[in-house]
Structures are given as structure tokens and as C-alpha cells.
A and B are shown apart, each in its own frame.
With several copies, the nearest count.
Chain A
Amino acid sequence: KPTPDSAPASGNTGGKKKIAFVSNGVASFWTIAAAGVKAAGEKAGVDAETLMPVEGITDQKRIIEDLLTRGIHGIAVSPIDPVNQTELLNQVSRRTKLITHDSDAPNSERVLYIGMDNYKAGRLCGDLVREALPNGGSVMLFIGRLEQDNAKRRRQGVIDAILGRPSNPSNFDPPSQVIEGNGFKILGTLTDQFDRAKGKANAEDTLAKYPDVNCMVGLFAYNPPLMIEALSQANKLGKVKVVAFDEDDATLDGIQNGTVHGTVVQNPYLYGYKSVEILAELAKGNNSVVPADKFIDIPARQIRKDTVTEFWADLKVKTAPTK
């Protein structure tokens, strides 16, 4: 066992409890979560804040270390690389209350995991593709990055559902391979490293390379809007089916006016809200909030034309700036 570290186990005594919510990067998705964090923090009477690392895993580690220095009563982390970060997470869990959200680290000593199963969500998305193309067709996938665990699983879920394979989250199809089956042809997976101009270029290049492509699937929040842009500039809106992930305004707008078949939404607001709520309880010493399977499921949902208006209105209320 390592020697006990000298970090202050808790922050300044007296004041409010401090809770931190650490994302795996910077995105609108996380700003919705931050709204949940804030709301729950106010409700529970704790100091809750959201931190987003810019530079990947090194940066996430640094932020977590600095939070421990500052003294924190509870921390919710979306580990970028759950397998290799187990040790770091274990160190954290020895000093403060740790939960994981969005992406789990099952082998670590985290108290519980809040989130959804990305593979399952991916399958929901794949089902939307099959709905959009009842007679099959060619599909191109777009995603920011592939090396993140949640991205990999999400993409795999889409592929497996499209091909009608049985559920097996440990599948992995190489991104450069063309996969055929079940009447579908998955042309490939293009990444853009969060460069939007590149993301749009990927969609355009797909239209150039495969003028007859039937469906485009955008798996990171900003991908579908870029696909819509490319399609509209190519006058192909409506001719190529669009299936989306997450709840960007342009995506929801597209569903409303029929250019996007549907999207799969997670509930980042609840990730943030639940994380803070539970950490606040844990910090008080109330362990009864921990379920037996240490998993709080916040399932993904499919949004189609019929449900989009209601969903959007609710989202606007939750993320409205509170004065």
C-alpha cells in the first residue's frame, strides 16, 4: 500500500460542501450537463462546478489532481480511458467520494456509475437507420473521434443494429472496412478531430465519392448539423436520409421539418443533476442512495418527428439561463 498522501482530505471547514463534475472534453453536450450540475447544486445547497479538460487525458489528470488539492467533497468523472485510469480513479476514491458518469470504469473503486450504455444507444440509432431505409441501402458514419471508449461502443452499436447482428458490445469492426449485410452497405467511418470545417468536408467528400449514398449517420452532437449543411449546399436535403445523435438545435430543427429522420438523445442534464444530487448525499454520509448494482441508468431515447416538439421545449426550459 502506498503511504497515505498528505492532500487535504476535505476543503475549508465550515462553508458549503464542494462538488466537482469533470467532463471528458469540451462540448455543448457538457454545457447542458453543467446546467443540471448548477440546478442540483442550488437545490442541494452545495458548491457544484463543472470542469472540462481541453487536452485529453493528461489535462484531465491535472484537473483532478488540482481539485484534490483544493479540497473537494465529491467528484464525478467521465474517464477518458477507463481501463488505464483505474489507478488514478482509485487514488481519488481514497481521498474523496468518487462516481463516474457518461463512461464507466467498472474495475475502479468508484461508488457508482451514472449514465447509459453507449452500445445500447448505438443500437437505438441503428434501428432508426433501418426505419429510415426499410429496403436497405448504403450508409456512411461520421464521428469526431474513434479512440474514446464511448465513441467506439456507440459506433459498434449502430453497425450491429443495422446489420441485424445479435447484441455483443465486444465486437469491433475496423473503420476503414466496407461492411455489407442485411441489405445494407456501411461505407466507412470518417473522423474529424472536432475540426468543424473538416467535419463538413467529410460530408461533402462523401457526397462526391458516393453520389448515391442513401443515409448519413452523425454520431457526435455537431456532426448532424454539418451533414445538413453539406446536403443543403448540394441540394440533396431530403434525398439522403439523415440519422443523428444528440440534440443540437439544427438537428432538432431538421427533425421538425422532416430533413432528419430522427435522433438518439442522452440526457446530459440528468447526468449532471443526478451526479451532484448523489454526491451531495454521499458527502453527508448518506450511503442509502447507492443502488445494489451501483448503476443509475439514464436511458437514451429516440426522438422522431412526433416527439421532437415536446422534447425541445423541455430542453429549452432546463438550459435557460437562470438569473
Chain B
Amino acid sequence: MRKVLGISALLLVVCVITAIASPNFLSGYNLENLVRRTALFGIISIGVAFVIVTGGIDLSIGSVVCLVGCGLPWLLATHGWSIPGAVAFVAVLSLAIGLFHGLLITKLKLPPFVVTLCGLLLYRGIARGFTNDQTVGFGAEFKTLRLLATGKIGIPFIPGFSIPAPWIFLIVVAIVAAVFLNRTIYGRYLLALGRNEEAARYSGINTDRMVILAYIISSALAGLGGLLFVLDVNSAQPVDFGNFYELYAIAAAVLGGCSLRGGEGTIVGVIVGAALMQVLRNMITLVTNRNNIEFAIIGAVILLGVIADELVKRFAARRRALAQGG
């Protein structure tokens, strides 16, 4: 909880500053946009959080987003598949990718970094191959399907703000993920093996199966993210769609309190982390006149955030120790 507190405080500070600097920050339209973007990135970040909890890493997320994001319109618009068929296909594909990663990592004991780095290169390459580097998109069709990402649900008492549909996905994913991680035995197994794989194995836990599951969750949510991303923007270019998203997802998870050494993570924290990144980018476009230093600012804020967090933690520890010693 303490970890979530720090990052939440940072998010709050950034929001307050932006709201003061730009009166439009709190407009319904902007909040809707922010909520939708946070939802999209939050979903893929939750996925990678599961892998991080096991002490692994998934660098292939951006490429899975690309593969699904390009694959779906390619199947639907270019090849005329039915909607259920195409969606089922990309879903199975995402699951299969996770399974593939998990098997290589557990059965062949290959390092996750290497396996998923190859995935990063491979899946985007495949997407570029089958689309022949052409942009794929839905054009003016598939409006109903696209409601999954573009739809909004009005709230009776707040005029001007409706809940974007991806937020519903995020909430469902987050609740299921949080319950899974904290209240079920499988979540506990993940936490245990993330810290001490041997101890978990000696306790009779099938650690391989759990690790595979984590990679499947990660790829599946990356696939869901890719689907929602492409439904939202309506088209995808295989060369850059989802580029660097793995880094944003990992950054959100780590900001939200996941330890890359494994064994630690909270779902709420991950969502707050994802929101922070989106608010920062939003702030830069709303408040400043130049967006080319956007990444510099994000980097600096995250860095200052974790430094401040660490210093506060130390200060508190010293205070406690003094209180005790005195």
C-alpha cells in the first residue's frame, strides 16, 4: 500500500498543477480522453505486471499489440473474415504467443529477456510481412465492433462526461486480476515463486505451469490492448503501431510498485502508474507550446518521483529509528 501511496500522490500533484495551468484539463472531453487512454495502456500494463511478479519480463508486448492491431483489420477488411472469426483468431493467436514464451522459458530454461526480445523482433516483422508494410484499417465500416473502443456510456448526473467503453474493460480486467493475484491460491503461487522459485517448487507448486500462465496473461492482455487500440484509432501501420509500448507498460507496472526482482505488485498501483504517464503527456500538450520535450519531461518526472519516494521512505525510517533510539 505504501508504494501505491507515493505514486498516487505524484499523480495528484501532476493533476493539480495541470488543472491550474490549463482550465480545459478538467473538461469532460479531456477527462474522457484521459480515461480512455489510461484504460488502453492500463490493460497492457496489468498484463506485464503478472510477468514481472514472477520475476520475468515481457518485451514483446508492443509487437503483440502491433500483430493483433494489424491482423484484425487485415482479416476483417482486407480478407473479409467474419467478426467472430477474426476476433477469435487474434485471441487464440495472443494466447498461443504467451504459451510459446512460457514454454521456452520454463521447459528450455531460456531467459525471458531473450525470448521476449526475439518476440519483439519477430511479431512486428511478421505483421510487416503479411501486410507488406501497408497501412491496414477499417475505413468507415465495422462501426458496431468499433464501439468496443469508441463507445461511451453516459452517466446520469455528470453532464458532459460519459464513460469510455475501454474503461469498462479495464475495470473488469483490474478486478479479476486483483482478486486473482491477492485472493486465489494461484496468485499466491505467483508471488511465492517470483521471490523464491525453489521454495515454491519444494512446496509442491507446479511452478512451470504458473509461469506459463503469467506469460499467457501478459500476451492475452497485450492482444486485448492491441484490439482496442486499433478499434480506437481505426487503422494501424505495422512499422510503428505499438512501438515502445512494452517500455510504457513496464514503466507503469514498476511505477505502480512491481519489483523487477519479482514477488511484488499491486494492480491498483499499475493503473495509477499508467494514468500518471498519460496525464503527463496530456499536460505537456495542454500547457506547453512544444511537444518535442515531452519524453524528457516524462523521464524527468518519473525519475524525480522515484527519487522523492526513496528519500521520503528513508527519512521516515530514520525518524522511526530515532524515535525508538531516543
Contact = CB atoms under 8 A, between A and B. Distances in A.
A133 interface: no
A320 interface: no
A201 B37 contact: yes
Interface residues of A, number: 78
Contacts of A43: none
B137 interface: yes
Given A83-B235, A84-B234, A85-B234, A49 B289 contact: yes
B132 interface: yes
Contacts of B135: 27-28, 80-81, 83-84, 147-149, 222, 248
A253 B161 CA distance: 29
Nearest to A23: B133
| Interface-centre pick from B29, B133, B233 (highest chain A CB count, 10 A) | B233
Contacts of A11: 24
A88 B291 CA distance: 21
A69 B24 contact: yes
Interface in B13-37: 22-25, 27-30, 33, 37
25 contacts: A6-B161, A7-B27, A7-B29, A8-B24, A11-B24, A26-B133, A31-B134, A56-B243, A57-B233, A58-B233, A88-B234, A146-B134, A147-B237, A149-B135, A175-B132, A190-B285, A193-B240, A196-B237, A197-B37, A199-B233, A204-B29, A208-B33, A209-B22, A225-B137, A226-B234
| Interface-centre pick from A6, A8, A148, A222 (highest chain B CB count, 10 A) | A6
A170 interface: no
A272 to B, nearest CB: 14
B26 to A, nearest CB: 10
A197 B292 contact: no
A229 B233 contact: yes
A83 B135 CA distance: 10
Nearest to A236: B29
B150 A145 contact: no
Contacts, number: 226
Given A55-B244, A69-B30, A225-B137, A175 B235 contact: no
Contacts of A136: none
Interface string B206-249: 00000000000000000000000100111111111101100000
A56 B33 CA distance: 18
B281 interface: yes
Given A84-B135, A195-B240, A202-B291, 7 more contacts: A58-B241, A63-B291, A83-B135, A194-B237, A205-B285, A250-B137, A250-B234
Contacts of A309: none
B288 interface: yes
A234 interface: yes
Given A26-B292, A52-B291, A63-B291, A250 B237 contact: no
Contacts of A176: 288-290
B208 to A, nearest CB: 35
A288 B28 CA distance: 35
B35 to A, nearest CB: 12
Nearest to A86: B140
B33 A52 contact: no
A208 B24 contact: yes
A37 B323 CA distance: 62
Nearest to A87: B234
Contacts of B85: none
| Interface-centre pick from B37, B244, B295 (highest chain A CB count, 10 A) | B37
Contact of A222 (B138, B159, B235): B235
A145 B240 CA distance: 10
A45 interface: no
Contacts of B23: 12
